[in-house]
Every structure is written in structure tokens, then in C-alpha cells.
Amino acid sequence: MLLIECPWCGPREESEFHCGGEAHIVRPLHPEQLSDPEWADYLFMRSNPKGPHRERWVHEAGCGRWFNVERDTVTHEITAVYRMGGPPPNPSAAPGRKR
Amino acid sequence: MTDAPFRLPSGGRIDRGSPVSFSFDGERYTGYAGDTVASALLAHGVRLVGRSFKYHRPRGVVTDGVEEPNALVQLGIGASGEPNARATQVEIHDGLAAASQNRWPSLGFDAGAVNGLLSALIPAGFYYKTFMWPGRWWMKYEYFIRRAAGLGRAPTGPDPDTYDKSWAHCDVLVVGAGPSGLAATHAAGRTGARVLLVDERPEPGGHLPGTSQSIDDAPAEEWVSAMVSDLAAMEEVRILPRATALGYYDHNYLTVLERRTDHLPYRERRGRVRQRLWKVRAKQVVLATGAHERPLVFRNNDRPGVMLASAARSYVNRYAVRPGTSAVVFTNNDTAYDPALDLADAGLRVVLADVRTGLSDARRSQLRRRGIELLAGHAITDVRGAKAVTGVSVAALNSSASAYAGGHRKIRCDLVCMSGGWNPAIHLFSQSGGRLAFDEARGAFVPGEARPAQFSAGGCNGTGALAFALSEGREAGKAAAAACGFRKRGGTPLPKVDVVEETPIRLLWTVPSRHLGRRLDKHFVDFQNDVTAADIALAAREGYRSVEHLKRYTTTGMGTDQGKTSNVNALAILSETLGADIAATGTTTFRPPYVPATFGALAGRDVGELSDPVRTTPMHQWHVEQGAAFEDVGQWKRPWYYPRDGESMREAVDRECLAARGSVGILDASTLGRIDVQGPDAAEFLDRIYTNGWKRLAVGRCRYGLMCTEDGMVFDDGVTLRLGEHRFLVHTTSGNAARVLAWMEEWLQTEWPDLDVYCNSVTEQLATASISGPFARQLLTELTTDVELGRDAFPFMSWRDGHVAGLPARVARVSFTGESSFEVSVPSGYGLSLWTALMHSGQRYGITPYGTEAMHVLRAERGFIIAGQDTDGTVTPIDLGMEWIVSRSKDFIGKRSLGRADTTRAERKQLVGLLTDDPEEVLPEGGQIVDTVTKPPMRMIGHVTSSYFSANLGRSIALALVRGGRDRHGEPVMVPLERAVVPARITEPRFFDPEGKRAHG
Amino acid sequence: MRYSIFSLARNAFGHHEGWPAAWRSPEPKQSYDVVIVGGGGHGLATAYYLAALHGIRDVAVIEKGWLGGGNTGRNTTIIRSNYLWDESAHLYEHSLKLYEGLSRELNFNIMLSQRGVLNLAHNLHDLRELSRRVNAIRLNGIDSEVLTPVQIKAMVPILDTSPDVRYPVLGASLQRRGGVARHDAVAWGFARGADARGVDVIQNCEVTGIRQRNGAVEGVETSRGYIRARKVGVVVAGHASVLAAMAGFRLPIESHPLQALVSEPIKPIHHSVVMSNAVHVYVSQSDKGELVIGAGIDGYDSYAQRGSFPVIEDQMGALVELFPIFSRLKMLRHWAGIVDTCPDASPIISKTPVKHLYFNCGWGTGGFKATPGSGWVFAHTIAHDAPHALNAAFTLDRFSTGALIDEHGAAAVAH
């Protein structure tokens, strides 16, 4: 079970959180201008990397806040926790790159 | 009382002042407090304790602990029974009843032993090669195979015991209270760090009490006692005995199972928690889990009376039991020498066969002093005896250990002690994600690269010598505490331990048979599952060359002992067969738990009424008193219908439906989800969440809304009240409230943080009674003075605040029944008052409480959908015929998806009504609809989503989703059921008051 | 050597030293007509059917670890075809029919045990959905029936069907032809069958790149060198996205841990497969006597074959609630696989943006039961460069058109 550092509450057990999947997927500003495949890309396609991954979590059973986590999908090591809308840290650890 | 024949007159950790009486296979035995079932039986000379899984071979005790493959017993009877308990760990107590397993009719005479005679026909994996003929007969064969399956028996009733769980947060968790673990705990504890020490045994010390080891020139137990009393004085140190670390998960999260009552007599268990699952989160972890001795693989090495050398030593020293009278110790390393000495000191005649030749003088002279005959360069080539060892054959090995140099000598004995070296207990290390390394010299896997914040010390780190184990433990404890920020100058000096010069181990993975060149028959590698060296060679020959293939093909390591004694031997034999390095052949994976763990303890208190919270409304007790039948809706208990004496469900629902349209009906609508949405951007926010627009909704008015997921599918619906310029009260379906709130929060926080909006659940804050029917207004008029109820003053789809029955209330003119209807909401504490007031005043109008079933019928008569029943995550608003609610002028979640090729298809399934040709016939919900009945597979065009008998209409009605259904009104369809085909006709999905006038009335 | 009771008896005299390898362990050739990436059940089945039905024998199956070492060897071995949507029902039913003849076809006993699969309903919503499913399945020509609590009790006496539990059992669907099979044997049987037909089964060989030219696949880079291929079929479950990234596109897939566990072996007491979506657990008992238990996925993306413990705890609560007599039994092992979950809980068996590169993925939690069917349609898709009617709907394209086959949406959302 992961130990996740909520930016507002501090380290808490994973069971207090819910994972919201890949982070930094921005909803298109003008969906009507997108083709069906472009819309599908936003809606369904995911990078699902093996290695460093940026994802959204919500402290469901705590403060209720969403935030971003950078976590390795192989070791489960959490390398960064940052607020929603904040810039991703560790630019070198580009998601999708194999470890 | 005369003592058991094999009990030594003195010594051991047993309490001779506390005799204990127990039974095994119905026979009564006595032992002492401190005995295990295994030690007590050995004290009585009982050798045969079980039968193996496949061949039903007679088996005895092999170990003195957790790794025991053979001595599994059934404990207790009936509902409180427990199968597959390890006799080597079960502490005896008065009244304990143990029984052997997997034998019929008796342990001594087991019919299953016929399998042993057939063993030539049933090598590893035989079942993959046969039972295929004739076709589909496998299940007939399987019937017999299943009869032979399993070991012990499941209890016969619900568990009478309770379990619980506890969290522990500590700086340092030390696993194992052997010498390294005690040293680590002491070193960490004295810095002031919070240390938790867990240990599977009843008392600390690890293997030390089972040895005759000295520390600081005194028996090791004295050192253990001194450590324990030091630790007891440290405030932040806690020791949990009988607590086994099961699993080591991410981020230093470990599970520990504490056995709290299993060792107590039954009368002392009552009212106490049987086992507790500890969930430990540690900043640093010190693994001091020790090592398991390895058996040697030789012919008939499974006879009862063949045991590990360390185990035999432990029975002598810890339990004061002579495990035999005459022993042959068989070893490839030095660690069997001390056991041999202790056995001799306990009065056994001992011969020691060592496959090595260049032994140290120190060792030789130790043996000489006890009169132990040493057979250097010798191996046991066979073990005689059936239900007990009667003797062995030994012979001298040639220099390459491939053949025997001389003749075979028979030695009579009743005990064979073996030592093939040691396997560090790296289970937890491996589970945590640490990499294993293979130590060629010792022939063992040892910890390699570890995950962060973790140390291994002592036996589990591959360190055999006590002196080093102690210093490793101390250093690990110090370093772990330091990593948590706890330091203290100085330290306890390391105790003095004698070190004997060691001769290196000579790895001999299989001991050749007496008849060289012959097969390796019945050289057991996995005792429990009857896997032999020949089975492993067979697997390798057939291409099952990965360790995992080997395990799965032969079942080695898959027993209740999880391969603790067998895995490395099996892997080594596989490597030898393949001619490859062990390291290259691979490592086994260690899957948690370290020992089998009680399901009940893992479930904890999350069973019975605590398995999921029950949510009830403030009026719940009233419904119960009225004898309502309840329906589970999510966690809610909702009244389903209110049967009167002798009424069937149908009669009750008909009566309730007629009342709601004919006089006045009352529904407890408190379970509806309610979300208070506030902020300057609240209307903009709802515009994005809902398919329809909200900005122009006037304060004081209500509007029905539909929300979609981003892929355009209907997700939830409900009525929203505009409470103020910047405030809305959103209603959701009862089962979906939490999801909708989470949905709103997610969009607000992650996508639109610029919107100034706040959402809060107020479901539990309000109680709501919905009254419906021609007398609803009249009834309400009687109970309020400050809410103007006239049709024009209080139009449909608006709300007013005021008082009802003297209670502060909000009244909304909304209708899910299609009748003139008022929803009265009060703070939840007043819910029951409101309800009883309405019931009291409503008597003269014939007020009738109605449940969810009548509500469903009434809304279906009007064609109102229920999200989740008439929709299923594949239905768009357009499919429901609700284009009117889909805004063209603004974007909303899911809008873009409505324009895709598939969502604009004409042939989509659309909501329609269905009327059966026979008005009395009620279609089953979930019935599938076809145009024509053919042989299967039939072309299905839709299904019935809602279906009822409508008392108001005097006939059955149904809603359905039908392909292209909107253009097919009037057309006939069929609903083929299991025993009949029901003809029906597609209609408009509205059956009653199609213009919707009554709600405005 | 043909496997039979006679060959067993014959070999008994030779102390079983005469058995040949079930498959060769060849060095990879420089080129193949078809390279299948992934030596799990699905990949091996694909290779087998390419050779057995389509005459394409110049095939290599490339596996980075050991055969059947992924989800094939980690699942709860349940086989059924009681799916709601026509497309799914036909695909899984085809698979079940192949399973029914598989031991004999492969001359390898996969121990298909059709002991019946029950899906429990615990509330009125469940009952409604159950009836919808049973009706649809039945009209698709697949066996399916509804059981009352009394009938359930008769079939599974140890199940707590009393009305006073938190979520009482109100009914169940039963597919009698459903059951379990020996998962490893399915992989081994297909490997042996494929090998016998000339397929090279290559273990410990990891694909590190997919070479393409002019939008068409040319071959695969591997840890054992470059291998040319006219066509490449990728069927790597949890690693699908990784391989897709090598080929330059993304998939609608997330990889999640799916955990399972077994109890210690006990004498048989549970003869069918019981599944409950509402309280979330499923359980059968193996021929060795172990209870085999599964539940839902962990919520986060992972390639670690390791899940979180609370999932196990929830599962145990549900299990003991349904089967109170299991409380004192013990968990022997728990583990996880990496499952490739699709938004609509249906697989993708499809051509891709790269010519002659085919993907078979997205099976999520339900791949084992589909193994032969999946290989069968994938072999057809590769051989003909066009899907078979059975997998025509399971394209990658459906995520653009919106024609999802939403198997879990249909089970979700209570009112």
C-alpha cells in the first residue's frame, strides 16, 4: 500500500485516496472543432508509461483535494507531489520514457 | 505421574510444573506448558504424524518451526476447527484435540497409500498426458481426483471467534527476535527511537533457546533475558510475541498477524480477539528473520524419523525431548556438528556421516570426546523403515561425489538428522522488491540490492556465525535509528561468543542412489507435495526449464510450507540437470504471506452488520413499525412497499399507486442526493455539467437536469432549485449522490479551478416527504400558514420557504409521479415530526404511504426515466427522446461525443413504451425484444428496462430500449421468455396523462 | 510423442526418461513470415491457429520471460461465455466451444471442468440486470438460467443465503457450461501444439523496438538481435501500451494490478464457481483443494505485478460474508498480474495505424476465458489482413466512432 504525501494533509495511507489517472490531459477548449479521432485521443488514449508517470489523485477520505503525483509504475516510488495546475517537476523524467 | 518415555529428566524451556493434557487422533497425551504438539508427541515416541499429499507416504516431524512440510494437523472440531496447522508451532493447551489429515480410514492404515504403488505411473504432470479419452470424460475422472484433493477439512459452521486489526506507526520495525533482531532492537531502542519488534515465537531469542550456545560464557538464554529486560525498560520499544510478519509491501508497509488466543485453553479464549492483523508503517525496517536449514536429498529421506539437524537439537534443548535413541547425522556442512554433540550429551548413540573429508581437528576432537563415530566422505544411500526409521545404509563417496567408492554399511538407528546447509529467510526482503543474489560458496540466495529504508541482519543476510549476526544486528539497529534522526553516543559492547573454525560446505544437491546409474527414485525434494529429484529431472527434460515452469509442472514449493525447505534444492537440481548455473537458472518468487494467514483475520471486523454501513432516513423507524418491506438502494434501506395484513406485494403496490393518484400518497424521499452548489460562477458551472442551461433560471424556480459523462452517455438526472443568485440545490439519484459530488469536485478542481464555486453534500442534513395526489394541496394547506399554495402563487417547478406543521420547511412543487405534488423538506432532525404530522392530518384524505415500487410504477406511467435502470451507460439524451434538454448554444460535458458517427446513428436503441397484447401480462424487466422468433442466435433489437402492472391504467405497461424504436411506434414485437413468447406493441413511452397536465393542477 | 495412458505406461518402464521435450528451445531465425510478440496463452494460441488453420508455419512466438508467465499463469482460471452484448457473447462463446474440444485437439489435458458459474444478485437492480443478461445470452444460443435463492442453496450449500445478511442473495444466473481450466496447461498445450507444427517458441527474448518503413512493419528489435517479419502480431496484455509506444501510437489502455489469492488446500467443499460483483469477490476450488479467489483491480497504473493490501482485505470481508465457514481457512499466497483495461471493458483485436502490425489487447480482467477464441480470431486477422466477423467490432477505430462495446457500463450505476 502506497504512502502518499497529500500537499495539504501530509503523508497518508493510499486507502484514503482515489487515483484519477493520467495527469495533464487538458480538456480541449473547442471540442466542436476537433475531428472524431482527435476527440477520441483526448477522451480515451493514454500514455500508460512503464516508469515515471504523472497522475492525479484525490484525498477522498481526507481534505477532498485533487493534486498531482509523479510515481514510477514499476517501483511505485513517488518522486514528486505537486498541486493541481502546478508545473511538473523533474522535467528530465519525461513520462513515457522507459526506465 | 510417570513422564513421557522420551522426555529428558531436566532442562528445556518447558514448565514441568504445568502439565497439559491433549489428544492426537483420539489418543490422550500429556506434555508441559511450553510444548508444541510436535515436541509433546516426540516425547511420547510418536513418529508417524501425517501422510503426504500424493502418495500418502507415512511422514513424521521434520522441523521445529514454521517451515514444517509434514506434520500438519487438524485442530478442534466443528465450527471452530482449523485445518493444516503446523504441529511444530501449535502450543499445546488443556483440551486441545489434534488429528492427522489426508488419511483414510486411519493414519496407520491409509487406503490412499495405494498411490505409492502406482507411483511409476503417476510422475509429475501425469494428468496433463491422460484422462483425455473419451472426449469430455475429464469431469468423470476429475470426480475421483477431487476426492483425493486437499489436506485438512474446512470448519462446519460460521466462525465463533472474532478478529480485529490495528495500525502501528514506528520509526523502526524489527522483524525477528533472534540474536540479530534483539541486538538491532536494543541498539535502535536505546537512541529513543520508537521500535516495534515482532516475533513469531512465543518467547524471544529465536533459535538460541534451542541450542546449547553460550554468550559471555553463560547460557545464551541469560543474554536473551538480559536483553529483554533492558528492552522492557525502554519506553518506546514494544515487543509483540506470536506475531508473524506476513507481507512486506510498498513504502515500508508490512502486515503482521498476532495470534492472541490460539495457545490458550478454550475457557480462557471467550470474549477475546483470536487474532489481530497489524498494519505497520515503518520509517525503517530491520529484517532479522533468520534462516531455514535445508534437507539433503537422498533415497527415502522422507521416512518418519528423518529430521533437520537443527530441529533435533531444538527438541533436545528447547523441549527436553530425545527425538530418538540412536541417531545418524548426515551433513555437508559444519552446522550439524553442534546438534550431534547435543544429541550425544542427551544420551543418544550418534554416528556422523559427512560428505566432506578435510574436517578440522577441532571438530574431530569434539566428536571424539563424545564417542561419536565420524564417517568422513560418507553419505546415506538409503533409509529403511516404513512408519519409522529403522536404519540407514552409508557408503563412501568418491572424490567427485558421483559414485560410491566402497561397500555399503548398514547402521541401525531410529533418527536421521540431516543438514544440507541453510537458506536465509529472504521472503520479506524479496517481497519488498529487493533483488536476490546467489552466494555460490554457500549455495544460497542472499539479499542483494535492497529497496530503500531497509536493512537485513544475521541469518537472513546469509550470516551464520552468531558473533557476526550479533554485530550485524547492532549496526543495522543503529543505522536504522540514525536514519530516523535518533542517535546516541556509545553502545552496548558486543558480547563474547566462541568461534569455531569452519570447514566450507560441500554442496551435494542429490545424493546418488545405492544402485548407481539407476533412477533417482524417491529422493524427496518437496515432502508435502511428494516431488522427487526424478520429477524435477523429468520436468527439465520435457522443457519446463524456467523455475516457475518447474514449480507449476511438478507442484514443488506449492504446498502450505510454500517451499521453505524445498525451493532451493529444487532449483539446484534443475540447474544441475540443465547444466546451467543456479544464478542463471533463476530465482523463485516469494509471494506473500510468509505463512498462511487466517481469512477471518484479513477480513477483521468488516463482516456481518459492519460489512457495509447501513443508511436509514429519519423516518426509518416509522416505516419499520408499519411493517414496510425494504429495498437496498446503495447503502440505503428504502421502504419498498407497505403490505397490510394479508396483502400480496401486487395488492399493496396497486393500492399505493391508486392512492397517489386518487387521494394522496406520501413517499419518504429523504434518500435523494442533495448537493449545495454556491459561488458567483455556480450557474456557469451547472451549464457545463448539465446538458441544459441554468443561467436564466429564476431564483425561486426549479428545473430538471440531465448530466452526461464525457463520452456523451447519461450519467445522472434530477431537479435543481435555484436558491439564490449564486446558490443552487442539486438533487441526484439516491444511489449516485457521492459519485455526482465527486464528479463535480473533480471538474472544478482539475479542469476549471478558475470557477468560483463550492459544492457540499447536504443529503444527510434534510429529510423530505413527497406528497402526491388530488388532495395533496389541501392537506398541505392545513399545515402551513406562511406558504401560499395557490396554483398561480406557487406554480409548478418552483419552491417556497416557510413552515409546515410548525417546522421550518422548504416546499418544492415538483413531481415524479405526474400528479400535483409537493416535496416538503425539513432539517433531518424534524423528519419524523413532519412525517407523523402529515400522516395525522392526512388521515381524513386517506393518506397512503407508498414505497419505491409504487414510485417506479407511477413515474413509468408518465414515462419518466430512472437513470441506471432505463439507462445503462450506453444511452444518450437523444436516445431517450430528450433532445429538448440538450442545449445547442453552449458546450457541456459530453456534448462533443454526441456528434460521433455511432452516436448519431439512426438505428440506435431508443426509449419506447411497450404494451403487451394481453393487458394482464407483465413483461419481466430484462426481457429481450425481437422482431421475429427464430432459432438462436436470434437478432435482438432491444430490451425491457421497466415493467409493471399499472392499477391506474388497469393494464401492464413497460419501457424499453429498442433499435430505431422512435420511428416504430405501433409496430408489433416479440419478447421470447424461457417458457413463452409474449407479443407486444411499441408505443410512445407515456401511458398516463400524456400532456402532463395533472402535475400543474 | 502422443500423450495417453499407454504412453505413460510405456514410459513407466523407462523410468520416464524417454519423454521428449514438449517444445524445442530454438535460436531465433533472422526472419519469419509472422512474429507474434508475447508468449502467453493468447500469443501461443495465435501461433497455433496460424499454423494449424491458415498454413502459416514460419512463425515465431517471442516471449521476454517464460511461457505463460504473465496473466495466463496468474488468473483465477474461470471460463464462461455469459456476456451481455452480442459481439462479446459470440466471441466468448466461440472461445468456450474451442475450449470444449481443446484437450483432445492439443493432446494435452487442460482439465476443463464445466462445473457451472454462478453470478449472484444482491439487490433489485442486480436482479434486473441479471435477467437482462440471462435473456440475451439465452437468445444468443448460449446456456444460461436464473436460479432462486432456494436453488442456489441446493447447489452451493455453504453459501450464506439467509435474508438477514447485509446484502442478501436474491438470485443468481447460472451458466452450467462455465467452469475452470488448468491455466498453465492451456499455455503449455498451445506451445506444444504450435511447436509440433513448426512454430519457433522463443523464451527470454525481449522486444525492444518495432522497425517500420513507409508505414509498414519490417521486423522487431529484440534482446537477441533483429528479427525481420512480414507481419507482426502483438499480444502482450499489460505491456500493450509499451509496445504501441515503440510503434508510435497510443492505446486507450491503462495497466492495473489485478490481485488473486489461494487458500491452503482443503478437502473439496465448493464445486462450482461463485461470483459476486456487488460484494466483489469470486471463488472456486481447484482440483488440488485450494480455494482460488479473485476480486477487482487496484485503482492506479502499475507494471509491478504487485497490488495493495486493502484490496485483499475487502475481498476477504466479502468472502467471509458470503461463505462464513471459510473464516478459519488460511490464505496461502497472493499475487497480482498486470491487466490491460479498456474504457469499455472489451478487447481490441485489430489492425493498427501501422500496416501489417496487429494488436490484440485490452482483455482486462477477462482474458483467460477467451484464450483460444482470441488466438483463433487474431490468427485470422493476421492471415487475412482483415478481421473475422467475430472480431470485426473489436477495432481500435471504435473509440473514434463511439461504437463501444460497454460490458461494464451495462453493469454499473444503481438508481
Taking an 8 Å cut-off on Cβ atoms, the answer to whether C250 and A14 are in contact is no
| pLDDT, tens digit, 9 for 90 and up, residues B408-437 | 899 999 999 999 999 999 999 999 999 999
For an interface test with B, give the residue of C77, C139, C298 to mutate (most B CBs within 10 A).
Answer: C139
CATH number of the domain enclosing B819: 3.30.1360.120
Mean pLDDT of C25-48: 98
| pLDDT, tens digit, 9 for 90 and up, residues B298-328 | 999 999 999 999 999 999 999 999 999 999 9
Contact residues, chain B, for A78 at CB < 8 Å? 251
Asked if B511 contacts B297 with a C-beta cutoff of 8 angstroms, the reply is: yes
Complex confidence, ipTM: 0.96
Determine what percent of chain B is predicted with pLDDT higher than 70. 99
| pLDDT, tens digit, 9 for 90 and up, residues C315-327 | 999 999 999 999 9
User: What mean pLDDT is reported for chain B?
Assistant: 95
> How many residues are listed for chain C in this entry?
415
Quote the CA–CA distance of B447 and B87 in Å, as a whole number: 30
| pLDDT, tens digit, 9 for 90 and up, residues B866-903 | 999 999 999 999 999 999 999 999 999 999 999 999 99
Quote the CA–CA distance of B201 and B240 in Å, as a whole number: 10
Contact residues, chain B, for A74 at CB < 8 Å? none
Q: Are residues B785 and B753 in the same domain?
A: no
Q: Please give the full DSSP string across B176-190, using - where no structure is assigned.
A: --SHHHHHHHHHHHT
In the predicted structure, residue A94 carries a pLDDT above the cut 70: no
Closest CA to C393 of C407, C379, C404: C404
Q: What is the DSSP letter of B485?
A: T
Taking an 8 Å cut-off on Cβ atoms, the answer to whether B896 and A39 are in contact is yes
Taking an 8 Å cut-off on Cβ atoms, the answer to whether A48 and C306 are in contact is no
> Could you check whether the bond before residue A11 is cis, i.e. omega within 30 degrees of 0?
no
Asked if C255 contacts A46 with a C-beta cutoff of 8 angstroms, the reply is: no
B769 pLDDT band (50/70/90 cuts)?
A: very high
The predicted structure's pLDDT at residue B515 = 62
Dihedrals φ, ψ of C60, to 5°? -120, 140
Closest CA to B669 of B722, B718, B721: B718
In the predicted structure, residue C410 carries a pLDDT above the cut 50: no
In the predicted structure, residue C302 carries a pLDDT above the cut 60: yes
C411 pLDDT band (50/70/90 cuts)?
A: very low
The angle, 0 to 180 degrees and rounded to 10, between the axes of the packed helices C371-384 and C183-196 is 30
Quote the CA–CA distance of B281 and A9 in Å, as a whole number: 17
**Is B104 a domain residue?**
yes
A91 pLDDT band (50/70/90 cuts)?
A: low
Closest CA to B317 of B464, B214, B217, B208: B208
Asked if B818 contacts B859 with a C-beta cutoff of 8 angstroms, the reply is: yes
The predicted structure's pLDDT at residue C415 = 35
How close A98 gets to chain C, by Cα (Å)?
9
Taking an 8 Å cut-off on Cβ atoms, the answer to whether C255 and A48 are in contact is yes
**Is B411 a domain residue?**
yes
Q: Does A94 touch chain C (CB under 8 A)?
A: no
Q: Are residues B176 and B285 in the same domain?
A: yes
| pLDDT, tens digit, 9 for 90 and up, residues B343-390 | 999 999 999 999 999 899 999 999 999 999 999 999 999 999 999 999
B404 pLDDT band (50/70/90 cuts)?
A: confident
The predicted structure's pLDDT at residue C414 = 33
* SS3 annotation, B513-542: CCCCCCCCCCEEEECCCCEEHHHHHHHHHC
For an interface test with B, give the residue of A15, A43, A83 to mutate (most B CBs within 10 A).
Answer: A43
Counts for chain B of helices (H) and strands (E), in that order: 22, 50
Q: Please give the full DSSP string across C328-371, using - where no structure is assigned.
A: TSEEEEEEEEEEEE-TTS--EEEE-SSBTEEEEE--GGG-GGGH
Determine what percent of chain A is predicted with pLDDT higher than 90. 85
The predicted structure's pLDDT at residue B514 = 67
Order of all β-strands in the sheet with A18-22: A18-22, A52-58, A66-72, A78-83
In the predicted structure, residue B248 carries a pLDDT above the cut 50: yes
The predicted structure's pLDDT at residue C278 = 80
| pLDDT, tens digit, 9 for 90 and up, residues B217-245 | 999 999 999 999 999 999 999 999 999 99
Residue type, B965: G
Q: Are residues B286 and B317 in the same domain?
A: no
Grid coordinates given for B533: 529429484
For an interface test with A, give the residue of B256, B750, B758 to mutate (most A CBs within 10 A).
Answer: B750
Q: Are residues B711 and B721 in the same domain?
A: yes
Give the closest of C103, C317, C401 to B603, CB-based: C317
User: What mean pLDDT is reported for chain C?
Assistant: 95
CA distances from B753 to A57, A60, B685, B688, C205 (A): 16, 18, 11, 13, 48
* SS3 annotation, B925-977: CCCEEECCCCCCCCCEEEEEEEEEEECCCCEEEEEEEEECHHHHCCCEEEEEC
Contact residues, chain B, for C314 at CB < 8 Å? 606
The secondary element (H helix, E strand) that includes residue B481 is helix B466-483
**Is B656 a domain residue?**
yes
**Is B140 a domain residue?**
no
Dihedrals φ, ψ of B688, to 5°? -80, -30
**Is B7 a domain residue?**
no
* SS3 annotation, B423-476: EECCHHHHHCCCCEEEECCCCEEEECCCCCCEEECHHHHCCCCHHHHHHHHHHH
Lowest mean pLDDT among B113-127, B196-210, B854-868, B965-979: B113-127
Most confident of A83-87, B542-546, B825-829: B825-829
Higher-confidence residue of A3 and A93: namely: A3
In the predicted structure, residue A96 carries a pLDDT above the cut 50: no
Q: Touching B: which chains, 3+ CB pairs < 8 A? A: A, C
In the predicted structure, residue B677 carries a pLDDT above the cut 70: yes
Q: Are residues B836 and B878 in the same domain?
A: no
Mean pLDDT of B767-780: 97
Q: Domain ranges in chain A?
A: 3-83
Contact residues, chain C, for B611 at CB < 8 Å? 166-167, 279, 317-318, 321
> Could you check whether the bond before residue B493 is cis, i.e. omega within 30 degrees of 0?
no
Asked if B582 contacts B548 with a C-beta cutoff of 8 angstroms, the reply is: no
Give residues with Cβ within 8 angstroms of B572, minimum separation 6: B443, B507, B509, B582
Q: At B557, is the secondary structure helix, strand, or coil?
A: coil
CATH number of the domain enclosing B387: 3.50.50.60
For an interface test with C, give the residue of A44, A55, A76, A97 to mutate (most C CBs within 10 A).
Answer: A44
Asked if B929 contacts B973 with a C-beta cutoff of 8 angstroms, the reply is: yes
Mean pLDDT of B825-849: 98
Q: Are residues B589 and B685 in the same domain?
A: no
**Domain end: B419, B435, B454, which one?**
B419
Closest CA to C255 of C42, C70, C83: C70
User: Position of cell 422548504?
Assistant: B810
Cβ burial of B646 (10 Å; 0-12, 13-18, 19+) is exposed
Taking an 8 Å cut-off on Cβ atoms, the answer to whether B145 and C403 are in contact is no
**Is B129 a domain residue?**
no
Grid coordinates given for C379: 490468427
In the predicted structure, residue C371 carries a pLDDT above the cut 70: yes
In the predicted structure, residue A90 carries a pLDDT above the cut 80: no
Grid coordinates given for B347: 544420551
Contact residues, chain C, for A46 at CB < 8 Å? 241, 250-254
Dihedrals φ, ψ of C30, to 5°? -75, -30
Q: Are residues B866 and B975 in the same domain?
A: yes
Grid coordinates given for B951: 392499477
In the predicted structure, residue B637 carries a pLDDT above the cut 70: yes
CATH number of the domain enclosing B105: 3.10.20.440
Q: At C198, is the secondary structure helix, strand, or coil?
A: coil
In the predicted structure, residue A97 carries a pLDDT above the cut 50: no
A window 39-78, beta carbon within 8 A of B: 39, 43, 56, 58, 60, 64-66, 75-78
B740 pLDDT band (50/70/90 cuts)?
A: very high
Q: Are residues B457 and B537 in the same domain?
A: no
Q: Are residues B172 and B53 in the same domain?
A: no
Closest CA to B466 of B183, B231, B65: B183
Quote the CA–CA distance of C367 and C362 in Å, as a whole number: 9
**Is B150 a domain residue?**
no
Taking an 8 Å cut-off on Cβ atoms, the answer to whether C299 and A50 are in contact is no
CA distances from B175 to B91, B172, B205, B386, B471 (A): 21, 10, 12, 40, 16
Strand partners for B378: B396
Q: Does C104 touch chain B (CB under 8 A)?
A: yes
According to CATH, the topology of domain A3-83 is: Folate-binding fold (3.30.2270)
Quote the CA–CA distance of B241 and B220 in Å, as a whole number: 19
Give residues with Cβ within 8 angstroms of B876, minimum separation 6: B708, B712, B713, B714, B898, B903, B908
Q: Are residues B868 and B985 in the same domain?
A: yes
In the predicted structure, residue C413 carries a pLDDT above the cut 80: no
Q: Which domain holds residue B378?
A: 296-419
Q: Total structural domains in chain B?
A: 7
Q: Are residues B307 and B414 in the same domain?
A: yes
Q: Are residues B429 and B408 in the same domain?
A: no
